[in-house]
A and B are shown apart, each in its own frame.
Chain A
Amino acid sequence: GENVEQHPSTLSVQEGDSAVIKCTYSDSASNYFPWYKQELGKGPQLIIDIRSNVGEKKDQRIAVTLNKTAKHFSLHITETQPEDSAVYFCAALEDSGAGSYQLTFGKGTKLSVIP
């Protein structure tokens, strides 16, 4: 089955700086890679996702890059703000449309943005 490794496990940045979180996956058939943000006491919230047919996707201060050859993908947050502080999870899925829909998650990165 799929295995997703996520680094770092904790990350502290100064407000306004950039934050980068990296993930690797094992199953070359995986083709859908979402990122979730989880605040204390809440469920994961989808913030951005990318499919294997593109290499980069941006949404305001958030971007995701994908390297299929190396089987890794990264989340980039620019101009960080205190409200970005949360735990971030990457995930991977082989979305063949054939029925299986098991997202495999990384172990998470706790991001702290210091004012």
Chain B
Amino acid sequence: DTGVSQDPRHKITKRGQNVTFRCDPISEHNRLYWYRQTLGQGPEFLTYFQNEAQLEKSRLLSDRFSAERPKGSFSTLEIQRTEQGDSAMYLCASSRTGGGSPLHFGNGTRLTVT
């Protein structure tokens, strides 16, 4: 169990640019989640996948955000036309399927939009 891996750890971008983050879940986990965390707050749910299917999206996930998990393994989260309000920590988590399977989080990608 190598844990959930996220890349990059930090990203600084100018407003209006597109950014893409990658998440590699724990290998035997078929559920993958994206959360966003701003300073002083708890993580907020964005979306989750079961295998390659995106099963749920939060209203926080505007049309500038898109997530994919093409082969049911790694996932990418893309933000188009970034805004300063997108500055946050983007956390990925994974779990097994089934009742009460705990979520295991990665160390996140910290995005700063200037």
B100 and A32 within 8 A (CB): yes
> Closest approach, in angstroms, between the C-beta of A5 and any C-beta of chain B?
11
Please count how many residues in chain A sit with their CB below 8 Å of the partner chain's CB atoms. Answer: 27
Among B43, B56, B58, B95, residue most surrounded by chain A Cβ atoms (within 10 Å)? B43
Known: A43-B91, A107-B41, A108-B42. A49 touches B107 (CB 8 A): no
For chain B, residues 16 to 42, give those with C-beta under 8 angstroms from any C-beta of chain A: 31, 33, 40-42
Known: A49-B100, A51-B100, A107-B40. A102 touches B45 (CB 8 A): yes
Known: A43-B4, A108-B40. A101 touches B33 (CB 8 A): yes
> Chain A, 23-35, contact with B by CB distance < 8 Å: what is the 0/1 string?
0000000001010
> Chain B, 32-67, contact with A by CB distance < 8 Å: what is the 0/1 string?
010000001111110010100001101000000000
For chain A, residues 35 to 57, give those with C-beta under 8 angstroms from any C-beta of chain B: 36, 41-46, 49, 51
- 11 A-B interface contacts by CB (under 8 A): A4-B42, A34-B103, A46-B103, A51-B100, A99-B55, A99-B56, A100-B56, A104-B45, A105-B43, A106-B42, A107-B42
